[in-house]
Chains A and B, each alone.
Chain A
Amino acid sequence: MFKKFAILIGFVLLFISGTSLIHADNTVPVTLFYGEGCPHCAKEKLFLKDLLQKYPEIKYQEYEIYYSQNNSSLLQKLAKSMKTNSGGVPFLVVGSKSFIGFAEGVTSREIETQVQYCMNNPCIDPVAALLAASPSPTPRSTPTPSSDAPLSIQVPLLGELDITKLSLPVLTITLAFLDGFNPCAMWTLLFLISLLLGMQDRRRMWILGSSFIITSALVYFLFLSAWLNLFLFLGVVTWVRWIIALVALGSGTYYLYDYCRNQSGCSVMGDEKRQAVFNKLKEITQKKQFFLALGGIILLAIAVNLVELVCSAGLPAVYTQVLSLSNLASWQYYLYLALYILVFMLDDLFIFFTAMLTLKAVGIESKYSRLSHLIGGILMVIIGTLLLFKPSWLMFG
C-alpha cells in the first residue's frame, strides 16, 4: 500500500516539475510584457534590473509587444486566462498576480511584496502554463534597455527631417506658438484693453490688465496639468493613443485647410456671448473699490478661459500626450508646461504691453498666424502619424 502511494506521489511531483505550473523550488517566475520606447516600461525595467540583483531567485522573462504580433497575442491570451484587462503595458506577471502600469514607490512595493511571497510559498506560473499549450514566442531573459529607434523621415515641403533632432523643447515652443494664435481667448483681452485705455489711473490699468493675463495663464496651466496627469495615469493605453492620434490628424488637417483658405479678419458670430462679456467687463472695470474690480477681473478671467478651453482642446491634448510619453522627472514635466504657457502667452503679452506703453491698441497681422498654421498643421499631421505607427519616435528623454 505504502509503495503504491509513494509511486503516486512520485508521478504527481514529476508532473508538476515537468509542466512548470507551480514553482516550489524557490524560483520566482516574473514575466514582463512591454513596448519598445514606452517610458513607463523603461522605468519598470530599471526597477526590475535592481530587483533581479536583490533576489537571484527570480526567473525573469520579457516579451516586446509593439513589434511582435506573437508576443502581443500571447499577452491577450494570458490576460484572458488570468481574467484581467490587457489594455496597456507594462504588464508584469508574478505568480498569480498581474501588475498593469508602473508607478515608482507604489507598484514597485507591490511587486516586491509579491516576489517575497512567491519565495516562501508555491506560486503558479501562468505564462509557462500557456506556453506549454501553444507554440512559444521567444522571450528575453534579462531586462534590456530600449533601442534607439528614431531615424529620419521625408516630409513634404520640408524635405528630410531627423526625428531625433526634433527635440521636446522645439516641439513645445512650436505647438505653444501655434496654440497662442488661437483667436478664442484673444478677443476678451482686446475688449479689456479697450476699456483700460479709457482709464485715468495708470496704476489701476496695469494691475487689472496684468491680473487678467496672469489668471488666464494659471487657468491654462491647470488645464494642461490635468491633461498631463490623465495621460500619465493611463500610461500607454493603445486606444487612448489612437484617439489622440486622430485628434492630431484632424487638427493638423484643419490648420492646413485654414492656411489654404487664407481668410483674414474676425468672424462676427456669437454676438450675445460677446456682448454679455463686454458688459460684464465694463461693469467690473468701472467699480470704484479697487479690490472689487480686481476680484471681478480674476473671476471673469477664470470663467472666460474655462469656456474658451473647449475651443482649443485639441492642441493641449496632443502636446500633453506626447509629453506623457517622454521619460522625465515630475518637475521636468511641469517645467515644460511652464515653457508652453510662456510661449502661448507671448502674443497676449506683446499686445498688452504695447497697448499699456503706447496707450494705443495694436493687433498682430494675420500673416504670422497663417504661417503658424502651416508649420503647426504639418507638425500635427506628423505627430498624428507617429502616434499611430511609431509612437517610440515621440518618446524623448
Chain B
Amino acid sequence: MKVLKFGAVWCNGCLVMRPRWAEIEKEIPNLVTEYHDFDQEPDLVTKYHLDSGVMPVAIFLDKNNQEITRLSGEVSKEDILEIIHTHQNS
C-alpha cells in the first residue's frame, strides 16, 4: 500500500494533519507515504481530480497504484489506521 498525501502551506487543516501522519509513519515504518504540495504539483492535482473540494487529501493506492479510497479534510488518527489495517495487504 502507498499513501499520497496532498496538502498546502496555506491550509490550516494540513498543518493539523502533519503531526498525526508523523505518528502513524513512526508506528508503521514500512508504510510508504509521499507528500505532494497542492500548489507546486498541478499535474498530480489534475490527475487525482483535486481541483475542487477540500485539503488535505490522503489517497490510498494498492500495489498496482490503483486508488483504494481517499480521505479529505481533518481526520482522526484512528480513522486513518483503520483504513491502513483493512487494506494493508492490498
Contact = CB atoms under 8 A, between A and B. Distances in A.
12 contacts: A190-B11, A264-B75, A265-B72, A266-B54, A274-B39, A275-B39, A361-B9, A361-B15, A363-B11, A363-B12, A364-B16, A366-B73
Contacts of A187: 10-12
B89 interface: no
B14 A191 contact: no
A357 to B, nearest CB: 15
B15 A265 contact: no
A266 B13 contact: yes
B52 interface: yes
Contacts of B55: 265-266, 268
A268 to B, nearest CB: 6
Interface string A28-44: 00000000000000000
Interface in A169-220: 183, 186-188, 190-191, 194
A362 B15 contact: yes
Given A268-B52, A275-B39, A365-B74, A191 B9 contact: yes
Interface in A255-297: 263-269, 274-275, 278
B12 A274 contact: no
A181 B30 CA distance: 38
A266 B11 contact: yes
Interface of A: 183, 186-188, 190-191, 194, 263-269, 274-275, 278, 361-366
Contacts of A275: 39
Contacts of A263: 54, 73
A264 B10 contact: no
B10 A265 contact: no
Interface in B1-47: 8-16, 18, 38-39
Contacts of B80: none
Contact of B14 (A186, A266, A365): A266
Given A263-B73, A268-B55, A361-B9, A190 B15 contact: yes
Contacts of B15: 190, 361-363
A362 B18 CA distance: 9
A379 B56 CA distance: 31
A190 B9 contact: yes
Q: Classify the secondary structure of B's interface with A.
A: loop
A394 B54 CA distance: 38
Given A263-B54, A265-B55, A265-B73, A188 B10 contact: yes
Contacts of A362: 15
Contacts of A269: 52
Given A265-B55, A268-B52, A366 B13 contact: yes
Contacts of A365: 16, 74
A191 to B, nearest CB: 5
B74 A265 contact: yes
A194 B38 CA distance: 14
Given A264-B73, A265-B73, A363 B13 contact: yes
A197 to B, nearest CB: 9
Given A263-B54, A264-B13, A366-B12, 9 more contacts: A187-B10, A188-B10, A190-B10, A264-B74, A266-B8, A268-B55, A278-B10, A278-B39, A366-B13
A183 B12 contact: yes
B73 to A, nearest CB: 3
Contacts of A266: 8, 10-14, 54-56
Contact of A366 (B10, B16, B38, B52): B16
B50 to A, nearest CB: 7
B32 to A, nearest CB: 23
A358 to B, nearest CB: 12
A146 to B, nearest CB: 45
A265 B13 contact: yes
Contacts of A274: 10, 39
Contacts of B39: 274-275, 278
Contacts of B72: 265
Contacts of A363: 11-16, 18
A267 B13 CA distance: 10
Contacts of A265: 11, 13, 54-56, 72-74
Q: Max chain B CB contacts within 10 Å: which of A265, A274, A278?
A: A265
